Structure 1
Amino acid sequence: MPSGLVALLDDVSVIARMAATSIDDIGAGVAKAGSKAAGVVIDDAAVTPSYVTNFEPNRELPIIWQITKGSLRNKLLVLLPIALILSEFLPGAIVPLLMLGGGYLCFEGAEKVIEKFGGAKHGETLEDPIEDVAEFEKQRVAGAIRTDFILSAEIMAIALNEVTAMADGTPTTLLMRGVILAVVAVAITVVVYGAVALIVKMDDIGLHLAKRASETAQKVGRFLLRAMPKLLALLSTVGTLAMLWVGGGIILHGTHELGFDLFYDIAHGIEHAVHDATGALGGVLGWLSLAVVSAVFGLILGAAIAWAVHTVQSLRGKGAH
């Protein structure tokens, strides 16, 4: 009996150690995947507030909650199963799909730049008159969830690409990949839409503080009210730059993975040259130079895609007439 008990306890301790190791591996995988997807997360957080403008203050948080639920559905009910199926049966498709999403981000970012410099606007804009508020809200929520789907697909694909193997090269199990991707999906959604809610309600917080008796609270409130329009403008710019940087970087890395190294080598050659020439700041400036090169590459590629898309649309329109 004692020997049986000892054996049982030994088995329990082995299982416990394996569980602890798995938890550690999952935690490491979540951290790794989340850090690699950071660029798309910034893009997501920067883009979403534009979908919640032009509404009454009491509708802002309910709209953000609707978009949050849509984002969780995108990630957990659609993208997670697809990602796991691909990782198990068609892992070679992950890089091309990443590049497809990267091309879309380049296209979106380039269109925003073209519009900023006087190009024709495509699709709905915030300047359009609002005739039916309920329908407008429905359309904005649907538009935000569509955009989130693309960005979420990129986040999940990037995360999946990072967790197919552990640090020692051992392939991860299907269950571990599923848990890591689910944790990443929920954590990123909470972070992104929590930040969006805070940004969108900043003017209401400022107005509340400006009415307080405390002079300090009034100063903070007035500062927030003045800062809000500038912050939204900054976020719009950051979102556009993030689209180009992330999209261009994904394409550069994807071409390298597929065996075409020209653009990848040029970009990283510039990064290493800047790194070696700038001493103590080499790490930061080298990374920044790579981000800039990726963004420029993304802008050129995105502009080419935009030209092709709108040329085809124009020809279709003429054909219809």
Structure 2
Amino acid sequence: MIDLRGIDLNLLVSLDALLAESNVTRAAERLHLTQPAVSTQLARLRQIFGDPLLIPAETGRGMTRSTLALELMEPLHAALKNLEAVVRHQSAFDPHTDARRFVIAANDNATAVLGLELMERLPTLAGPDVRIAFVVADQPSTTGRLERGEIDLLLGSERMVPASMKARKLFDDRFVVVQRKGHPRGAAPLDLDAYCALNHVLVSTSGGSFHGFMDEHLEPLGRSRRVVLSVQHFTLVPELLAHTDYVSTMPARFAERHRERLDVFDLPFEARGFTLFAAWHPRNHADPSLVWLRDTLAQISGEWQPDGAQMAGL
């Protein structure tokens, strides 16, 4: 059994970097130490654990983690994150004076609908030492990244929220059809025939698909639409529509942001909407800075709700 009293905490921090990088040089750069210093630490760690931890690769380039090293990676990283939270603990968080870096994982829908609003308002909501990084929510790896503290908050639909995480509903939204102002078809409400005959731009977050959520609704009706373009990001669509005669189906809240140059219409058929949630690891439930971020997102979310009376053609 290892005597923890004989282990310098800095050695564990170095071990975390070494296991993550599998390379002494890159670990040294990450730790802002010299390569000889990290090599010395690795030798000490090998002695403590009675294991090589990192083994030279058979190719002669890089290193391979030992079986023990693989077992240590996640629990070690989680333990260091928990310790960091204890050390950093404070009873309050002032976004205008305190420093904090947040990492938010979100799908394209959530980034377009809510993330843009948060980004635009950040200068008035917080001081210059509060920084926010948006990263793509890769569902298979999201749970692990939340557990390791690499992600502070997840924004997505209910199906994206891991069962082990805490979650908060932000808002419900629905889908609408948008076209440029002055579109040759006019500004009359859409019927199903007109919807299916138009040239559509589809947002496919997986990339390259010409079959989406709306097509799943049309199939039981025995209908199909003409999808001529497929893009991966909602934020591309308003600019594209403004200069073409294409149409697109998108979240009502995002469409509302672009009403100065786009007309918005109800769908000519019943379609399910979606609910946006914020999710976080239970260990961060009482973190004052994350409480502030969650409350801020909830406040922004509550300032607007889809309203059918606002749609053009009604």
TM range (shorter): under 0.3
Bigger relative CO (Cα 8 Å, ≥ 6 apart)? 1
TM-score normalized with structure 1 length: 0.20
TM-score normalized with structure 2 length: 0.20
Select the structure that is richer in helix.
1
Structure whose CA Rg is larger: 2
